[in-house]
Amino acid sequence: MAAPRNLTSDGGGGRQLVKDEENAASAASAAKGNDDSPTGKRTKSERFPLSRWEFVVFFTVFLVFATGLLSVYLTMPAAEYGKLKLPRTISDLRLLKDNLGSYASDYPARFILGYCSTYIFMQTFMIPGTIFMSLLAGALFGVVRGFVLVVLNATAGACSCFFLSKLVGRPLVSWLWPEKLRFFQAEIAKRRDRLLNYMLFLRITPTLPNLFINLSSPIVDIPFHVFFSATLVGLMPASYITVRAGLALGDLRSVKDLYDFKTLSVLFLIGSISIFPALLKRKRVYE
């Protein structure tokens, strides 16, 4: 049996040593507790995710796009810019349509250039309001021309957002949607052999927000040709519904009226058709 330690044999120095060890242990325990506490976690999670270099890249790309958009606006014929603003409600959209109706008729080519530039800019930098731009296309250009414009602009803007996210998007998406990103990555890994069908399903149905798909696709290693094809084709049903609704703005009370139960059911039905070949092949493999 070991002899008990004589703490008093060293006098005050021994007692001071033990006291220092106890204080150090308490400080370490407190520090660990702070790291594990919700406050500690919150401080770490609230840190801005982009590094200085990534922020510079993002700002440079934004500045290039903004300069191009401004150049387009400066070359357009004079207009009453005080009446022009990005709509946030259906009422704002009706006023904008009334103000732009004659302008779009007098300068169709330049107006379309300005419309496309604005749409792609908003889609690239995740600025809310593209659904109002789609409704405006139907109200000003009709179903056919409006549908073509919306699909092409939405696809171009999504592709720009894809490449922007490829540059600086990983820390931002991991910071904003960590759980959703892990789920998406796992689903993509399980469907590598039929990735186009799965991406079509996601684009056609509102299963995941388009903003999240645009930003996270390069992070989970979705090939660009798959992303482009799924975006171009998958956005067509919803674009058609939105553009067609733009013909009757007076009947709309809010954006929520666009996607009622019947519309969502149709979209999910079309989306299910897109993944049916993959399900059929899997069944044959199991047999």
- What pLDDT, in 10s, does the model give residues 100-125? 888 888 888 989 999 999 999 999 99
91: amino acid identity, one letter: S
* Assigned token pair, 157: 């803007």
Q: What is the DSSP string of 145-201?
A: HHHHHHHHHHHHHHHHHHHHHHHHHHHHHHHH-HHHHHHHHHHHHHTGGGHHHHHHH
Q: What is the pLDDT of residue 280?
A: 52
Distances (CA, A) of 44 to 35, 38, 95, 178: 9, 10, 45, 14
SS3 of residue 205 by DSSP: coil
Q: Do residues 138 and 75 make contact, with C-beta atoms less than 8 angstroms apart?
A: no
pLDDT over 70 (residue 14):
no
**pTM exceeds cut of 0.75:** yes
User: Whole-angstrom Cα distance, residue 69 to residue 237?
Assistant: 28
Which contacts of 259-268 are long-range, i.e. CB under 8 A and separated by 24 or more positions? 259/206, 264/206, 266/237, 267/204, 267/205, 267/206, 267/237, 267/238, 268/205
Q: Do residues 134 and 244 make contact, with C-beta atoms less than 8 angstroms apart?
A: no
pLDDT over 70 (residue 165):
yes
Rounded to an integer, the average pLDDT of 35-42 is: 39
Residue 263 — pLDDT band, cuts 50, 70, 90? confident
- Residue 36 DSSP one-character state: H
* Dihedral of alpha carbons 243, 246, 251, 254, sign: positive
Q: Do residues 194 and 230 make contact, with C-beta atoms less than 8 angstroms apart?
A: no
* Assigned token pair, 265: 């059911």
